[in-house]
Amino acid sequence: MEESHREYDLWTKKYDTLVQMISYRYDVKCTEYSAAMNGITVYFYNSKEVMNAVKKFHAYLEYGVVDSMQTNERMINIYAAMFKALKIDQNVDEVFLNKVYMKYRESSIQEFLSLSKINYNLYEGK
């Protein structure tokens, strides 16, 4: 019984992380969005697809020159992997997520990329 309670608790934390990311998607530079992005590593540690999407996102940021379309695509990959890991992806596909995510303003994306690079460098000890 305790094992199923822990599994449910972890699922709830994963779900809350996804909801927080979606809720603050138009303000990617806010504390809440950054906290959700950082929480992915903790809560989705056992989801290979989510972790690979996050790793690819951070690897892309290392290149230095980033394109907002490529950034959007990588964020959509993270969202899609999170939906799939939570098994709530029946009515959500990348076309839908693309429409949701593409409403970001260019400046917000650039500010988010700067913050993500800082967070990544702190995490990697650079």
| Residue pLDDT, tens place only, 95-122 | 666 666 665 544 455 556 665 555 555 5
Rounded CA-CA distance 122/118 in Å is 6
pLDDT of residue 67: 80
CA distance 44 to 46: 5
Bigger pLDDT: 125 vs 89: 89
Supply the pLDDT for residue 109.
57
φ/ψ (deg, to 5) at 104: -65, 140
**Using one digit for the tens of pLDDT, what is the confidence trace for 19-48?**
999 888 878 788 999 999 999 999 999 999
Please tell me the distance from the alpha carbon of residue 110 to that of residue 38, in angstroms, as a whole number.
Answer: 18
DSSP conformation class of 37 = H
Q: Which residues contact 85 (CB under 8 A, 6 or more apart)?
A: 14, 44, 47, 49, 50
Look up residue 64 and give its DSSP letter: S
| 27 DSSP 8-state letter | -
pLDDT of residue 105: 44
Task: Give residue-wise pLDDT tens across range 40-84.
Answer: 999 999 999 999 999 999 888 887 777 877 888 888 899 889 999
Rounded to an integer, the average pLDDT of 7-15 is 95
Could you tell me the pLDDT band of residue 11, with boundaries at 50, 70 and 90? Answer: very high
Angle among Cα 106, 74, 20 to the nearest 5 degrees reads 80
